[in-house]
A = this chain, B = another copy of it.
Amino acid sequence: MSDSRTVPAGAYEVRIGTGVLETAGAILASRADPGPVLLVTDENVGPLYLDRVRESVRAADFRPEALVLPAGERLKTLENVRRVYDRLLSVGADRGTPVVALGGGTVGDLAGFAAATWMRGIPWICLPTTLLAQVDASVGGKTAVNYREGKNLVGVFHEPSAVAADLETLRTLPEREFLSGFSEVLKTALALDPELFISIESDPGGVATPEGRRIPDTVVACVRAKVRVVGADLREAGRRRVLNFGHTVGHALEAAAGYGGVLHGEAVAVGMMAAVRLSVKRTGLAPEWEARLAGLLRALGLPVEREDLAVVPEREAVARHLARDKKIRGGRIAMVLLEAPGRPRIVTDVPAVQVLEAVYPP
């Protein structure tokens, strides 16, 4: 049985609750004509949830075809995009054939990119199974794969036709993955919804596990906050960039550590600390927030400083990756800082060296 709430997100809806994977067929039926459907998933998620989705899709008179790809960031390659293309060819996909992405953010990024670029865009449905994907990646239409050493260098904006986040899937998520996703919850809270931050601070136990009492409300709050920001700025020309809070340093740390050694959310946690420090210096954030963020990260079991990361990257490697940031222009980085929690500001002239020093003090 499905017990869910729905957050409207412009042209599509985000369904959040338990048992929503079983509604995949119904979601398809309301958005596409009967025919083949390509289910893309990975080797971690497939064995757990593919059958459930396949049954639901079949019951709705679609013909499910599954493509199970290797798990992890290494999934996001142009080679795997070609595997999706090849399967679309072999099932005889037309412009109305939907792609269903079942998995974490990597699966959504890859399958969404393939759908975006096949015949100049076919529909896709996103079934995020990680906390990270449910609160962040599945909303906003960003799709991408990695290219050579660069993360998400190749991608486009292509909104899904629907998102259905089944909170039950969080229970099979490794604890470290769950916590990593929680880092994006804190990002959303700090940058956009200070009340959410304070409510988490008051009861970390109520959210810090998949069974936590406050998980449904928290996911809904994050999706709502993200929808508000993305709605007015899909293509990230302005306001949307505030969602990158913590990500300038986060991405550089993640890349420098080698994808996989450090999880995205872990790197973002340390990146948020850097952004908070720079915010105290540059945009007048009250100094207490450095200690409050650090305290909450520690209470949740997330890293605070670079030394807390499983793989501590070299300063030089981080510097090199910062220099390649997509938001860099003329050697200065456009970075999201906070005037206060919930009051983000994009500062376009932060020298890369200053960013680096917030993580690697001289």
Contact = CB atoms under 8 A, between A and B. Distances in A.
A95 B78 CA distance: 20
A48 to B, nearest CB: 31
Contacts of A12: none
A31 to B, nearest CB: 15
A157 interface: yes
Contacts of A236: 120
Contact of A326 (B86, B94, B150, B327): B94
Interface in A114-138: 116-121
A144 interface: yes
Contact of A33 (B86, B235, B330): B330
Interface secondary structure of A, over-half rule:
mixed
B85 A116 contact: no
A120 B155 CA distance: 5
A247 interface: no
A148 B157 CA distance: 25
A82 interface: yes
A156 interface: yes
Interface string A14-56: 0000000000000000000101000000000000000000000
Given A121-B235, A236-B120, A33 B329 contact: yes
A326 B157 contact: no
Copies in the complex: 2
A116 B121 CA distance: 13
Interface residues on A, range: 20 to 34
A153 interface: yes
Contacts of A155: 117, 119-120
Contact of A117 (B33, B121, B154): B154
A296 interface: no
A193 to B, nearest CB: 25
A142 interface: yes
Most chain B beta-carbon neighbours within 10 Å: one of A120, A153, A155, A328 = A120
Interface in A137-169: 142, 144, 147-148, 150, 152-157
Contacts of A157: 120-121
* Shortest Cβ-Cβ A-B pairs, 8 listed: A120-B155, A119-B326, A117-B154, A120-B156, A156-B156, A94-B329, A95-B326, A117-B156
23 contacts: A33-B329, A33-B330, A78-B82, A85-B147, A89-B148, A89-B150, A89-B153, A94-B326, A95-B326, A95-B327, A95-B329, A96-B329, A117-B154, A117-B155, A118-B153, A118-B154, A119-B326, A120-B142, A120-B144, A120-B152, A120-B155, A120-B235, A121-B235
Given A33-B330, A117-B117, A118-B153, 5 more contacts: A85-B153, A94-B326, A95-B329, A120-B235, A156-B156
